[in-house]
Amino acid sequence: MKSLTLDHASFWYPATESPALRDVSLEVAPGEVVALVGALGAGASTLLLVAGDLAPRMTGGRLEGTAARRDRSGIVLPTPWTQVSGMAFTVWDEVAFGPANLGWPAHEISRQVDRALERLELVPLASRDPATLSGGELQRVIIAAILAMDPGLVLFDEPAAELDAEGACTLWRLIRVLAKEGKGILLATSALDALPEVADRVVWLEQGAVRAVGTPDLLAEAAACEAGLGTSVATVWRDSELPEPAPLTIIDAVRRWR
Amino acid sequence: MIPALRLEGVSFSYGTVPVLANVSFSIASGERVALLGRNGAGKSTLVRLIAGLQRPDQGTVWVGDWDTRDCVPEQLAWRVATVFQHADQQLFATSVRDDVSFGPRALGVGEREVQRRTDSALQDVDLTAHADQHPYDLPPGLRKLAALAGALALEPALLVLDEPIIGLDRALRARVTRALLERSAASVALLVITHDLTFAAETFDRGLVLDRGTLACDERLVSLLGDATRLEPLGLVPPPMAALSTALGLPGRPVREAEVARELARVARGRLAP
Amino acid sequence: MTGLRLHPFTLLAIAGALPALAWILPAPVGGAWTAAVALALTLTPGASPGNTGIGSSPDRRPGFVVFRTAVLTATPFWLFLLLLHDVPTTIAIGLRITTMVASFVWLVAALEPPRLVEAMIAAGWSASVAYLLAATLSAVPGLKTRAQRIVEAQRCRGLSPRGGIPARLRALRALALPLILSALHEVDERALALETRGLVPGVRRTPLAPPPDPVLERAARWALLLACLAALVRRLIVASPT
């Protein structure tokens, strides 16, 4: 069974005429990384909220169609400072907050928290007060906190926004590891250049509807480049009016150049 | 000419935690400088020192010919406009226009001048259409632009921004780049913290890299960004255009998209020519 | 008092008993005692535990800051009372209000939300109720940090917090609006965000580190309650004029 199945899902926020999602059908299999790309406001964040059972339950509004999950889902929002509990004086306690809420036994909580901290390279920060962390450090803490709850479906909304280059690299590697462990991953990101390595499939959203679905090769096509959604390499190749097909990555470009 | 900003041997600690050690550099009018470095390297603290919110423990921060030790932040606002991270959470007026005009009005500039500056700033970031909306009705990306407009409206000699493009898509980033390039052409000095090296390459000429509180590099971005061996120990990764330039061996190693496109086309034509 | 950390319920009991006694005991002596105790509490090092965070100066003695906050918050009430009442009444009511203000300010500074949540969970309260109470109490320091950031940003836009009354009123408005607006705006986001952190109704949260509750403290809490009741009974029976 799929980690996530959206079947002809349309969603309206409360008191809005036009839907934020239009007739979206989407599946995420266990072990698969699906990336959502699109302009700001295209509906990626809304789709993640629907996928995570937060819309319409917490946001209000109306959902038509269905959204079914096989396992517990965890979502990392683009604003890590809102997801901080405010109830923890140390990073360790902050990451333990979720598992404790789920009522797990103490030894299991310890195990999950230690593991999550290690994966996000947060062990040196374990006894720091979350209120003193930088935006990037906090984003890693929240990612660890969500992973510590061991969700089967992990939803990421712009997880690398606040991270520096090293942090972002660690994150993309971690996402592949999570997929290998059998988790389903749905990821909304504007870091298009990372997607050839990270994503198995790319879904292009435009004004709440699915415009195209495909492998990351989609990001080298003319339509994507024109919409500002091509990888940097593909975009500059087209700008130079070099022959098709445009290479997706630097390695592809080197091969074509020879 | 007095530089727009000059730091001489600046050191600073939060209590017993050292954050900046012996940082010295200067920025001339019209110069475009990116402040780079890992998370936690001290960039945001440097911004606080320049804004006058903190005094250096050692050394001096000169904004023009003013020593920040002798000034309070509201005085420094005459010369330097600072936009902090998450400035979109600090908007407060009931319309974007009111928020943007807050700065020049607080400086005591005449009403007509306030209007002129506000309109000009809104135009620079293409927000004129949203000027009468409530800031919190705008999506977060446009709120960030509103915060930037507020700083532009101060018409400072030095503009200091902390991560201005996080959460902005390509189109909005291009708007920010354009607004900054226009201001620098009008002799405004720019110092901008960013971890997006593509944005840095497109918008700035010079890079200052902080590494654990010290100034590890101060040089032109063109020479710095293509060199992975130098960037890696600083926690930085060459941006795609620079990496592509290096990988393809493009002459001049351009780092900006338009220049890379030109070189690619030129070299390709050269290959086809008999 | 360093090292002696009272159980959160004890802190709540003290913060509740002092104002209660201030109003029950005959004025002005009763009010004077309780106000003195409340203000003394604000000076203890036990007030304001935890980090002060980046951006604030860590070498200010925290106890004095809390005391000053209490005094500054209570002062406008005294001025107001002086306008309305004669001196004895002003003193009587003023001391009671000072006790309330100082107790609350002390409580907010001394109570650590995580410890309160752990204590309530250990005592059998549901996680949601515990978070609600703790979040309400921690809202104040949260607002203070946010207020500081907003004031800084506005100073950097030319707004001076000094000057005459009109200037200060303008500055206050420029601070109050974004503070309330952004806090309200965040309430929605916070509710959703907390949901993402595993708050499932009906599940009993695992206590991670319930604060120790020595018999002595429990006895002291009961004693405080009984003292308040005794004072109330005495007051009602004796029914002496204020």
ipTM score: 0.85
Distance CA A213, CA B158 (A): 46
Distance CA A84, CA A130 (A): 8
C195: which chain A residues are within 8 Å (Cβ-Cβ)?
A: 54, 58
Q: Are residues C34 and C104 in the same domain?
A: yes
CATH for A196: 3.40.50.300
Q: Are residues A65 and A95 in the same domain?
A: yes
User: At what angle are helices C8-24 and C215-238 packed, to 10 degrees?
Assistant: 10
Q: Are residues C138 and C86 in the same domain?
A: no
Q: Measured between CA atoms, how close is C56 to chain A, in angstroms?
A: 11
B76: which chain C residues are within 8 Å (Cβ-Cβ)?
A: 156
Q: Are residues A212 and A236 in the same domain?
A: no
Q: Are residues A256 and A234 in the same domain?
A: yes
Among positive and negative, which fits the CA dihedral C189, C192, C196, C202?
positive
Q: Measured between CA atoms, how close is A249 to chain B, in angstroms?
A: 9
Number of domains in chain A: 2
Number of domains in chain C: 2
pLDDT tens string B13-42:
988 889 999 999 999 999 999 999 988 789
- Residue A37 is encoded by which pair of tokens? 């790309």
Q: Are residues C2 and C53 in the same domain?
A: yes
Mean pLDDT of chain B: 92
User: At what angle are helices B96-106 and B140-152 packed, to 10 degrees?
Assistant: 30
**Chain B adjacent subunits, 3+ CB pairs under 8 A:** A, C
Instruction: Count CA within 13 A, CB hemisphere, residue C36.
Output: 6
- Residue C186 is encoded by which pair of tokens? 């965040």
Q: Is C59 a residue whose pLDDT tops 50?
A: no
Cβ-contact A2, A28 below 8 angstroms:
yes
Give yes or no for A166 touching B (CB within 8 A).
Answer: yes
Burial-class residue C76 by CB neighbours within 10 Å (0-12, 13-18, 19+). Answer: exposed
Q: Are residues A25 and A93 in the same domain?
A: yes
Instruction: Give the model's confidence band at B273: pLDDT under 50 very low, under 70 low, under 90 confident, else very high.
Output: low
Among positive and negative, which fits the CA dihedral B238, B243, B247, B251?
negative
C182: which chain B residues are within 8 Å (Cβ-Cβ)?
A: 89-90, 92
| pLDDT score, position C4 | 56
Distance CA B176, CA B183 (A): 11
Q: Are residues C28 and C140 in the same domain?
A: no
Q: Is C55 a residue whose pLDDT tops 50?
A: no
Nearest CA in chain C to A110: C208
Q: Are residues A104 and A200 in the same domain?
A: yes
| Strand arrangement, sheet containing B17-27 | B17-27, B5-14, B58-63, B66-67
- Other C-beta atoms within 10 Å of B261: how many? 20
pLDDT tens string A162-199:
888 888 999 999 999 999 999 999 999 989 999 999 99
| Residue C123 or residue C61, greater confidence | C123
Q: Are residues A166 and A255 in the same domain?
A: no
Q: Are residues C234 and C139 in the same domain?
A: no
Q: Are residues C114 and C135 in the same domain?
A: no
Q: Are residues A116 and A242 in the same domain?
A: no
Find the range with the poorest average confidence among A113-127, A185-199, C137-151: C137-151
Percent of chain C with pLDDT over 70: 88
- Range picked from B85-89, C93-97, C182-186 for highest mean pLDDT: C93-97
> Residue A93 is nearest to which of C194, C197, C208, comparing CB atoms?
C208
Q: Are residues C102 and C221 in the same domain?
A: yes
> Residue B53 is nearest to which of C152, C157, C160, comparing CB atoms?
C152
Distance CA A169, CA A115 (A): 19
Cβ-contact B105, B113 below 8 angstroms:
no
Nearest CA in chain B to A80: B86
Give yes or no for B98 touching A (CB within 8 A).
Answer: no
Q: Are residues A167 and A244 in the same domain?
A: no
| pLDDT score, position C118 | 87
Give yes or no for B28 touching A (CB within 8 A).
Answer: no
Q: Are residues C153 and C223 in the same domain?
A: no
Q: Do A86 and C205 touch (CB under 8 A)?
A: no
Q: Are residues A192 and A245 in the same domain?
A: no
Contacts (Cβ under 8 Å, ≥6 apart) of B8: B24, B59, B60, B62
Start-end of H helices in B52-139: 73-76, 96-106, 111-124
Paired residues of B8 in beta bridges = B60
Domain with A69, as residue range(s), is: 4-216
CA distances A93 to A97, C111, C112, Å, are: 6, 17, 13
Nearest CA in chain A to C189: A82
Q: Are residues A252 and A131 in the same domain?
A: no
Q: Are residues A211 and A230 in the same domain?
A: no
Paired residues of A154 in beta bridges = A74, A185
Q: Are strands B206-211 and B214-220 parallel, antiparallel or unpaired?
A: antiparallel
pTM: 0.84
Q: Do A254 and B258 touch (CB under 8 A)?
A: no
Q: What is the DSSP letter of C212?
A: P
Size of interface A-B (CB pairs under 8 A): 89
Q: Do B90 and C182 touch (CB under 8 A)?
A: yes
| Residue A225 or residue B93, greater confidence | A225
Q: Are residues A232 and A206 in the same domain?
A: no
Q: Are residues C21 and C132 in the same domain?
A: no
> Residue C193 is nearest to which of A82, A102, A103, comparing CB atoms?
A82
Cβ-contact B19, A116 below 8 angstroms:
no
Q: Measured between CA atoms, how close is A161 to chain B, in angstroms?
A: 6
Instruction: Give the model's confidence band at C48: pLDDT under 50 very low, under 70 low, under 90 confident, else very high.
Output: low
Domain with C32, as residue range(s), is: 1-124+206-242
Q: Are residues C146 and C217 in the same domain?
A: no
Q: Are residues C237 and C182 in the same domain?
A: no
